[in-house]
Structure formats: C-alpha cells, structure tokens
Amino acid sequence: MDFNTILQILDSAVRLMTPLLLACLAGLYSERAGVFDIGLEGKMLMAAFTSATVAALTGNVWLGLCAGIIGSLMLSLVHGLASITFRGNQLISGVAINFLAAGLTVLLGQKIFGLGGRTPTLNPGAELEALTTPFRDWLSGIVGPDLAVTLTTMPRFTEIRLPFADALRDVPVIGPIYAELISDHSILVYVAFLCVPATWWLLNRTRFGLRLRAVGENPAAVDTAGVSVTRLRYAAVGICGVLCGLAGAYLATGLSAGFVKDMTAGRGFIALAALIFAKWRPWGALGATFLFGLLEAIANRYPNLELGPITIPSMFMNALPYILTVIILAGFVGRAIPPRAGGEPYVKER
C-alpha cells in the first residue's frame, strides 16, 4: 500500500465520517441535556429527503439545505413535545420518529416525483428562475456577480478547492496531504469538523454549556437555581435537529446526488454507538466517527480483502462497521457513564 493509496482511503474516510460526525454531535447535545435520542436516524433521513426534494425542485442546494434543517427540526419538535412537554418515554418517541421518517419520505417522494420514492438526480440547469434570479441579484451585491452565479446554480454541494492547493501539490508529503486530504471537500465537511472545537468550547466555556451539562446530570439543581429546565432541553433538542439536518443534507446533496429510500442505512444508530464510544465528549466523537468512517472507506476500497491465502468476503467487510457497533455497545469500551438524568423526563418535586 503506497502513500497515495493511504491518502485516498483517508480522504474517503473523511467524506464518509462527516454525516456520522454531525449526527454524533447532534446526539451529544441532546443527550448531554438529558434527552436520549434514538431518532437521529429518522431525522437524518427526513433531512436528506427534504433537502434533496427542494434542491431538485429549485435547483438550489442552499434552499435544499434550509429545507433539510427544517425537516429535521420538525421531527425534533415532535421529540421535544413528546419527551419534554408531555414527559413521555424518550425511546418510544425516538422509535416512532424513525418509523415515521422511513415511511413518510418514500410516500411523499412517490407522490411528488413518481420515481418509486427516489428524487431525481441533482443536475445543474434545473434551477427555478423565478426563485433564483432575485436571490442572485441580491447576492451579487454582496459577494460579486461571479460567486453569486456559482452559488445560486449549485444543485448539490460541490468540492471546494482551498487556496494554494494546486501550488502546494508538488511539495513532498505535506503537498499531497493538503491538496488531496484537506482540500477538495464540500463545505459541510469543513463545517462538521469545525463543529468539534466549537462544541467543546460551547460546552465547557460558556454559561449555556454549563447549564446544558447540568440539566443532563441533575435537572433539579438547574430548576432550583431558577433556570428553566424545559427551555434548556428544547434548546438542546433544537441544536440536535439542526445538526441532523446538516448530516442528512450532506448525505443527499453532498455525498450523493439525490435521495433514495432508506439512504441513511443505519448511520443514525452508528452515530449513537460512536457517541457512547466517545463517552459523550466532542473530541471523542471525532475519533469514534473517524474509526467508523475509516472502516467504511476500507470496505469500499477493498471489497474482497486478501490476506495471504484467506480472502475476506465483501459482505464481511461491508458488515464491519455494524459488527464494531455491536462490540462497542456490548461494553467493550470500558465504563462509559452516560449523563445521569438521561432518559428521565423532569418532574418537579422536592
């Protein structure tokens, strides 16, 4: 295996881990605030569908992204209502959201496009002039006409070439790493990676973070300090919805070019496993999701891995992330202490 192959695998791992990382951080906000969320999968799926649908209809991926976030937020609101306001069982609410999303996306997809639940492939040139023209005119006043045209005619997220990527390509070692691995990703990949330090900072250095962590550990402490438990938890569930929206939108409009039925393929659950593996910490989430991304990348690259006389079949390679999930959930990672009030609706009592 040469240097270039390793770079390509790592590059692929970065792309594949992005939706996992976003979903994992989404779960982190929710669970650190004491609201367990196994509906990450459903929210991602819904976001993937709404983003792809709107991107296909308008030809504008930014509108698609907004739609993805809104779609995911709607389900977050359902989860919030069920588990915070009405103090229902958070697991059941999450399961319901997963089922709802799996059914609703296919149903609506068939109704709108008649393609058996898929959305059409996102191609350039399909933009709705009525929508994009005023937007483009407004935008060109801010970022200049060239960029405005690029931005408004994007049907899906394309790769961004970072400055100096071409110039540095020939520098040994650092050059390829910068040009191949770090550059040439869609904007959402960079957003996801920036979310890690941002989340760490928010949790550990701000008032909001302190309260968020406290409400997941002992909501009564927050309540008696005169701070609203309900509001904090809704805020956390809302952030979770936005991040799931980004994850789903990336899946449908970044990683691939359109929505297909059940396209999240259990990524929401892998993100949950990664969250436990990460012990509910942002930097841990980065490491855990990278591991899963790497496994998926290897499986994609070497469908039939040959180790001397033994050939590992592709089915096994494809199953690796899921096998790892089971091993991790079985407690192989040692003691992971979840937020103490996790899963418990808060009832005011003395």
Partner 1 sequence: MNDTVTKAGGPDSAPQSIPPAIELRGISKAFGPVQANRNIDLTVQKGTIHGIIGENGAGKSTLMSILYGFYKPDSGEILIDGKPIQITDSMTAIRAGIGMVFQHFKLVRNFTVLENIILGAEDGPLLRPSLARARKRLRELAEEYELQVDPDEAIEELSVGHQQRVEILKALYRQADILILDEPTGVLTPAEADHLFRILNGLRDEGKTIILITHKLREIMEITDNVSVMRRGEMVASVRTAETTPEELAELMVGRKVLLEVDKTPAQPGKPILEVRDLRMIDIDKVERLRGISFDIRAGEIVGIAGVSGNGQTQLLEILGGFPEKGAKISGEVMMNGQPLALNGRGSDAAERRERGIGHVPEDRQDEGLIMDFPAWENVSFGYHNAPEYSNGIFMDCAAIRADAEGKFQRFDVRPPNPELAARNFSGGNQQKIVVAREVERNPDLLLIGQPTRGVDIGAIEFIHKRIVELRDAGKAVLLVSVELDEIMSLSDRVLVMFDGMIMGERDPETTTAGELGLLMAGVTDRDASGRDGITPAHRHPADHPDEPTAKPEGQA
Closest to partner 1 by CB, 61 vs 341, is 341
Closest to partner 1 by CB, 161 vs 205, is 205
| Structure tokens belonging to residue 79 | 């989860």
Residue 271 Cβ vs partner 1, minimum distance, rounded to whole Å = 24
Closest to partner 1 by CB, 128 vs 210, is 210
Residue 212 Cβ vs partner 1, minimum distance, rounded to whole Å = 11
- What's the DSSP call for residue 329? I
Give the H/E segment covering residue 45: helix 40-58
With CA atoms as reference, report the closest residue to 324 among 265, 269, 282: 269
Residue 234 Cβ vs partner 1, minimum distance, rounded to whole Å = 17
Q: What is the 3-state secondary structure (H, E, C) of 222-274?
A: HHHCCCCHHHHHHHHHHHHHHHHHHHHHHHHHHHCCCCCCCCCCCHHHHHHHH
Residue 224 Cβ vs partner 1, minimum distance, rounded to whole Å = 4
CB 9 within 8 A of CB 219: no
Binding region for partner 1 (CB under 8 A)? 204-211, 213-214, 217-218, 220-227, 340, 348, 350
Residue 202 Cβ vs partner 1, minimum distance, rounded to whole Å = 10
Closest to partner 1 by CB, 130 vs 225, is 225
Residue 214 Cβ vs partner 1, minimum distance, rounded to whole Å = 5
Closest to partner 1 by CB, 35 vs 40, is 35
User: What is the rounded distance in angstroms from the CA atom of residue 193 to the CA atom of residue 15?
Assistant: 11
Closest to partner 1 by CB, 59 vs 216, is 216
Please report, to the nearest 10 degrees, the dihedral formed by the alpha carbons of residues 120, 126, 127, 130 taken in order. -110
CB 29 within 8 A of CB 243: yes
